[in-house]
Amino acid sequence: MQPVVTGSVVSVEVAQALGLTAEEYERILELLGRPPNFVELGMFAVMWSEHCSYKNSLKLLRTLPRTGGRVLSGNENAGLVDIGGGYAIAFKIESHNHPSAVEPYQGAATGVGGILRDIFTTGARPIAVLDSLRFGALEEPRTRYLIRGVVGGIGDYGNAFGVPTVGGEVYFHPCYTDNPLVNAMAVGIVRCDRVVPAVARGVGNPVFLLGNKTGRDGIHGASLLASRTFSDGQHDMRPSVQVGDPFAEKLLLEAVLELVEAGIVVGMQDMGAAGICCSTSEMSARGGVGMRIELDAVPLRDPDLDAYEILLSESQERMLVVLQRGTEHIAEAICRKWEIGFARIGEVTDDGILRYYHRGQLVAELPAWTLVAGEGAPQYEREAREPAYLQQVRSIVPEELPEPVSPQEAFWLLLQSPNIASKRWVFEQYDYQVQTNTVLVPGAADAAVLRLRELPGRGIALSVDGNSRYVYLNPYRGAAIAVAEAARNVACVGAEPVAVTNCLNFGDPYDPEIFWQFREAIRGMRDACSVLGTPVTGGNVSFYNESPRYTVYPTPVIGMLGLIEDVSTVVGMGFRAEGDIILLVGPQRAELGGSEYLWLFHGLVAGDAPSLDLEEERRLQQFLLTAIRRGWVHSAHDCAEGGLAICLAEKAIASEGELGADVVFPWELKAAHLFGEAQTRVLLSVSPRHYGDVQRLGQELSLPCVELGRVVRSHFCIQGVVRTTVAELRHCYEHALPAVVEAL
């Protein structure tokens, strides 16, 4: 029987209005052997959208290393890494860029809510959130509007839910003016024998909807908001942005974890993008089963919602759960205890067909696999062409440009640059101590560190990294640097980098130059992850990040997980003891390409990305882990934006008390040496009695270890460049961003 929806008219023009192409409409006709009705066409539109199907990226994503090491397989909600002792870490990063551009507060808040649900649908309890944010120039009124809304949404949702926001990054560049990037990463812990798959199994098992009632918010958020380029009328898309309720999500979390503990959950998936349509089709396809769904049983906020709206609504704080038949009474008691919605909406069937009924009619009937990425959904590899701009920007040799200001003036201006200055104004709006597991707080180290109560003495380190200027100049090398720096940052606290989640933010994939950037970035990540032994556990691709005025720089963001055997051995970035020797470990190279110095003083993103030797990087991280775990190192800090001079200042600013540095540079006092952003370099402070141990380890691993000076009390001096106090450094660094925001 062909399902019927009264009054619906379907044509290729209607399909195109919903975001499908004429060729994709023809493919639907072939798959079904008949024309779809309007409800079915809407389901294909959302499920074959870029956001849900990864149709322009999946072929390339499959070239990334996905297995090996500690990675556990078999879960589609979030990546899982075995940490020993019978436990696993679940972690994932995703974007909420387009919703945040349209409605920054709710866009960012629901981004946090969605990624948290991805974690606890695995059966894991969320223990941390990190975020990676990109905004336009602070002088733009729109930027200030966006940053206040986004930071407020992240803070309010995470704080109310009760999860610490422990780290992240914030960058500013004009290319993000219209289209900010809001990437949220969440982390949880789960017993390995309690991991729940996102799979439907067991013919006759009941299918339940848990959580909030269904409304009209978020309809076509996946297909028409997250899978399109912005126009001047973007604010008309506000109804496509979901609305979050962190208190409802907290209750949903506790109910879900109690259901998992009871051992009655067969499979579970968050209702995020494409709502009921997505969760029923994906869970069924993975299990090779079908479902019969009664849409009349779905609790509604508005009784006038039709079948199309019910299926495609992206109302937040909802889960699809398949229970073991006969355990419904147990589940009902648990959900009643936590006061969350609990409605049986269908059951698992044996024929692989999804059937949806509404008001006595069969309104949609589709094979589950036809809707799903990697199966029925189309997969493309688009035309790729090296961008024309590369020849121009690489023709500039940044190291040969005149130095417009003195080294001293450059130092102070860089220290106060929005991309370098303290982001305390941002992270103090987040509760980063809730749950009391945070060992190293934001600003104290290159990575966040959390203790694991389930495994006393052990911990994890977390970092999110990505420098889009490097990727703009050299997509392959820039993406490899993102992986290397994220791994280096967790190694700087004494954690072993073990796995990656990534969020890949790019423009329109139908533009050959942008697809070339994407393809090269994937290749760079693949090579870096392979050499460093950090497989990719999952993540997110966000295309169409552009407007008529701007296309964002290609921005792959890497979320890195590191493991710590003994959390008492971790170190921060700040100096800890007067008289310690300051060492630069790693090769010194004079490279200004893509640097903050070049942007601030020449207004250029030019040259080439910094050079990177992945084997050298691997040896540096091995050095860090060995030296820190043996107790030879008092502090470690990666040389990143602003180069060596700024790295030294940040170590003094983060010190315990008023500890500064007295440093003599053994190189020429030129901008490329002082402020260049060469890779694979770390500044350490070590006690004199371990100086020889560190030098010998460097020799064994063929790494230069250059003594720069000593840790001193109160003052900070780079001879020939700057002489000041630690107090003055702190004042400038901490007050720069709030001063700019308030002045504007």
Each residue's pLDDT tens digit, 199-223: 999 999 999 999 999 998 778 755 5
Note the pLDDT of residue 231. Answer: 59
Beta bridge partners of residue 660, listed in sequence order? 712
Topology, domain 389-421+571-744: Phosphoribosyl-aminoimidazole Synthetase; Chain A, domain 2 (3.90.650)
In the predicted structure, residue 481 carries a pLDDT above the cut 50: yes
Tens-place pLDDT, residues 633-670 = 999 999 999 999 999 999 999 998 899 999 999 999 99
Residue 414, helix vs strand vs coil? helix
In the predicted structure, residue 227 carries a pLDDT above the cut 90: no
Tens-place pLDDT, residues 97-118 = 999 999 999 999 999 999 999 9
What six digits make up the tokens of 568?
Answer: 């008492």
Domain residue ranges in the chain: 7-60+197-381, 389-421+571-744
Query: What is the C-alpha to C-alpha distance for residues 659 and 578, in angstroms, rounded to an integer?
Result: 7
In the predicted structure, residue 2 carries a pLDDT above the cut 80: no
Note the pLDDT of residue 657. Answer: 85
Q: Do domains 7-60+197-381 and 389-421+571-744 have the same CATH topology?
A: yes
Note the pLDDT of residue 530. Answer: 97
Q: How confident is the model at residue 6 (pLDDT cuts 50, 70, 90)?
A: very low
96 catalytic residue (yes or no): yes
98 catalytic residue (yes or no): no
- Which residues are CB-neighbours of 111 under 8 A, at least 6 positions away? 94, 95, 96, 99, 100, 153, 154, 182, 184
Alpha helices per DSSP H over 121-208: 141-161
Highest mean pLDDT of the ranges 553-557, 656-660, 734-738:
553-557
What six digits make up the tokens of 618?
Answer: 């691997």
Look at 172 and 232; give whichever has higher pLDDT. Answer: 172
Tens-place pLDDT, residues 147-170 = 999 999 999 999 999 999 999 999
CATH of segment(s) 7-60+197-381: 3.90.650.10
SS3 of 258-320: the string is: HHHHCCCEEEEEECCCCHHHHHHHHHHHHHCCEEEEEHHHCCECCCCCCHHHHHHCCCCCEEE
Note the pLDDT of residue 232. Answer: 47
Comparing 77-86, 199-208, 379-388, 732-741, the range with the smallest average pLDDT is 732-741
In degrees, rounded to 5, the angle at the alpha carbon of residue 169 between the alpha carbons of residues 166 and 171 is 160
In the predicted model, what is the mean pLDDT of residues 505-514? Answer: 97
Look at 339 and 228; give whichever has higher pLDDT. Answer: 339
Note the pLDDT of residue 742. Answer: 76
Closest CA relative to residue 198, chosen from 121, 125, 281, 275: 121
pLDDT > 90 in the chain, percent: 89
In the predicted model, what is the mean pLDDT of residues 174-200? Answer: 96
pLDDT > 70 in the chain, percent: 95
What rounded mean pLDDT belongs to the chain?
A: 94
Note the pLDDT of residue 291. Answer: 98
In the predicted structure, residue 174 carries a pLDDT above the cut 50: yes
Q: How confident is the model at residue 250 (pLDDT cuts 50, 70, 90)?
A: very high
Beta bridge partners of residue 555, listed in sequence order? 505
Note the pLDDT of residue 740. Answer: 81
Q: How confident is the model at residue 136 (pLDDT cuts 50, 70, 90)?
A: very high
Tens-place pLDDT, residues 46-91 = 999 999 999 999 999 999 999 888 999 756 789 999 999 999 999 9
In the predicted structure, residue 734 carries a pLDDT above the cut 60: yes
Tens-place pLDDT, residues 456-469 = 999 999 999 999 99
Tens-place pLDDT, residues 590-627 = 999 999 999 999 999 999 999 999 999 999 999 999 99
Note the pLDDT of residue 77. Answer: 86
Note the pLDDT of residue 744. Answer: 61
**Nearest 5°: phi and psi at 517?**
-55, -45
